[in-house]
Amino acid sequence: MYSSLWYDNLTKPFLQPPAWVFPPVWIILYGTILTSVILYTITISSKDKKSGYICFIVHMIFNLLWSPVFFYLHRTDIALGIVLIMDFTALLVIYRFFRISKISGLILIPYFLWLVFATYLNAQICLLN
């Protein structure tokens, strides 16, 4: 079960943003992800888009797994593995999308950078706790 008390009592990394930062950042990032998928979908291309969709779906499955594993199961170690997979699959998505629609790939770069930052935060929480 999610326990804000559990999370509040964790030792946080030096660069941990305040809690209020996360919701607006994720709203913006999910908006860019949606925009990227739409652009990828509507771009007419002779190249096969299937691998891009597969990479995206795999990535989003891990994206959906991270929060329950971290916040509900309190398994920061497994969550770290998940976010590392997310880093890798996000790069694959960016590469695949960029091949079809350069803009579609490029607008995912801020998302990837945030994932790298989230990886740092998750890793530090593992180390500090």
**Per the domain annotation, does 12 fall within a domain?**
no
Give yes or no for residue 1 having a pLDDT over 60: no
Q: Please state the domain count of the chain.
A: 1
Which region among 41-50, 93-102, 111-120 has the lowest average model confidence (pLDDT)?
A: 41-50
**Per the domain annotation, does 3 fall within a domain?**
no
**Per the domain annotation, does 10 fall within a domain?**
no
Enumerate residues 6+ apart whose C-beta is below 8 A from 66.
79, 82, 83, 86
Q: What is the pLDDT of residues 9-22, one digit of tens each?
A: 999 999 999 989 99
**Per the domain annotation, does 72 fall within a domain?**
yes
Residue 106 in tokens: 């490029």
**Residue 92, Cβ density class (10 Å: 0-12 exposed, 13-18 middle, ≥19 buried):** middle
**Per the domain annotation, does 91 fall within a domain?**
yes
**Per the domain annotation, does 93 fall within a domain?**
yes
Q: What is the pLDDT of residues 67-79, one digit of tens each?
A: 999 999 999 999 9
State the residue range of the domain holding 61.
19-128
Separation CA 98–CA 21 (nearest Å): 29
